[in-house]
Amino acid sequence: MSQASSKYRYQGAPPIHSYIVPYMKFCYSQEMIEAVERYMKEGEKLSFYRRGEECELFEKEFADFCGKKYAVSSNSGTASLHLSLLAAGIESGDEVMLTPHVAPAVGNAVLCAGAKPVFVDIDEETWTMDPSKIEEKITSNTKAIIPVHTYGHPADMDPIMETARKYNLLVIEDGTHAIGSKYKGNRLPLGGDRNIGIFGLTAKQLFLLGQCAGNSGGMLVTDNKELAEKVRSHKNCHSGEVIGYSYLMDDISATVGRIQLRHLEEYVEMQRNSAKILNERLKETPVQTSVEKEWAYHTYARYAIRAPERDALQEFLRQKGVDCIPLYPTPTHMLKLYRNLVGNKRGDFPVTEKQKKEELSLPEPKFRSEWDLNYVARKIAEFYA
């Protein structure tokens, strides 16, 4: 045990209101506040029969932003993923590929569609799906691949798409962390009739919908008209055409989302600038920061590091007023539900398992002052001194 880990014992983190640098920081512009107030005062727009006008506008603007023909809103990223699987005809007996280095919600959506999650380990540098490990997991039951653009860094899509074409597989890109990210100069998700992109629009990502209207939001984009129409049928429990779900986004969330979309590139630049400062300040410490490959444009929706003595570092930082968390600390394949249903065991995905032992998510980089960033970096350096 090092001097650092023996010196700092967990004595209880400070209450959330006393963090010097809290994990999340919300900033609602006057434009957003006025838009919501205006909407709430226009009572007739809250009528059930007129619901959806703002959602329709948000969908069109979001599709344009992504360079796609169609966008369909929902009330969460998980809902959008579930809808994409249903629309693609994924059913019991099918297999869907994903990594265990994701939120459990990704695998849960696969299970809700009746399919079996098949896990693929991650690349040690990008922390996204390792394309070289996909083909060995493909069977006659494989129907889709879900690459997740982890924390804002794109997965290496060219080899993934090549494998998908070879085996006629659907690709569903989870861009929840990657709104505004680019792969080889192209905004994600990539195009094509066998490709869908889904996004979660919550306060944990670039959008703040979850804290605005008591709800959150999701979006699905595609160039495939038939898929988009099927998604619309499934997301409305009143459609009567297919089994539907209560997955509708509310108009207040869409109102806020439209404003935030107009400022999205400013948010991304803000996050990239914060990440640049942290990367520079942490160079002389033992932690490993997130890479940005030459073909990637990273949005840093999360600023995660790999840290020796992660747990002791977290305890020390929280005592010093810096809130930080291990994101999804248990790999999905090691959760009880998945151990029982899928049958993976410890050691099956060594890169992911090592990542999860060392990974720590620092305070989100959006809306941070340089003082905040310097303070975080200084305390990390102090821990390892």
Q: What local confidence, expressed as pLDDT, does residue 4 receive?
A: 44
Q: What local confidence, expressed as pLDDT, does residue 190 receive?
A: 87
The dihedral through the CA atoms of 136, 137, 141, 144 has a sign that is negative
User: CA angle, corner 106, sides to 102 and 107, nearest 5?
Assistant: 100
Q: Which residue has the tokens 């569609």?
A: 113
81-132 tens-digit pLDDT: 999 999 999 999 999 999 999 999 999 999 999 999 999 999 999 999 999 9
Question: If you ran DSSP here, which 8-state letter would residue 135 be given?
Answer: G
Q: Are residues 272 and 234 in the same domain?
A: no
Q: What token pair was written down for 166? A: 């070879």
Within a domain: residue 13?
A: no
Q: Are residues 147 and 169 in the same domain?
A: yes
For helices 251-262 and 53-66, angle between their N-to-C axes, nearest 10 degrees: 30
Q: Are residues 42 and 66 in the same domain?
A: yes
Domain boundary residue, one of 206, 227, 257: 257
Within a domain: residue 169?
A: yes
Provide the residue range defining the domain that includes 223: 30-257
Residue 147 to residue 131: CA distance in whole angstroms: 9
Could you tell me whether strands 359-362 and 303-306 are parallel, antiparallel, or unpaired per DSSP bridges?
antiparallel
Within a domain: residue 7?
A: no
Sheet arrangement for strand 288-289: 288-289, 303-306, 359-362
Within a domain: residue 269?
A: yes
Residue 255 to residue 201: CA distance in whole angstroms: 13
Three-state DSSP class for residue 118: strand
**Which stretches does DSSP call E strand in 131-287?**
142-145, 170-174, 182-183, 186-187, 195-200, 218-222
Domain boundary residue, one of 236, 257, 278: 257
In which residue ranges of the chain is pLDDT below 50? 1-14, 16-17, 47-50, 210-215
Could you tell me whether strands 218-222 and 116-119 are parallel, antiparallel, or unpaired per DSSP bridges?
unpaired
For helices 77-87 and 225-234, angle between their N-to-C axes, nearest 10 degrees: 120
Q: Are residues 192 and 68 in the same domain?
A: yes
Q: What local confidence, expressed as pLDDT, does residue 208 receive?
A: 57
CATH code: domain of residue 291: 3.90.1150.10
| Residue 158 contacts residue 273 (beta carbons within 8 Å) | no
Question: For the chain, how many structural domains are there in total?
Answer: 2
Q: Are residues 139 and 35 in the same domain?
A: yes
123 CB-near residues (< 8 Å, 6+ apart): 129, 130, 131, 156, 351
Residue 49 to residue 3: CA distance in whole angstroms: 65
365 CB-near residues (< 8 Å, 6+ apart): 270, 271, 274, 275, 278, 300, 303, 373
The dihedral through the CA atoms of 87, 91, 97, 102 has a sign that is positive
Q: What local confidence, expressed as pLDDT, does residue 43 receive?
A: 59
Cis-peptide into 189, omega within 30 deg = yes
Torsion of CA 355, 357, 363, 364, to 10 degrees: 30
Three-state DSSP class for residue 377: helix
Q: Are residues 124 and 270 in the same domain?
A: no
Q: Are residues 117 and 150 in the same domain?
A: yes
Question: pTM of the full predicted structure?
Answer: 0.91
Domain boundary residue, one of 257, 272, 302: 257
301-352 tens-digit pLDDT: 999 999 999 999 999 999 999 999 998 999 999 999 999 999 899 999 999 9
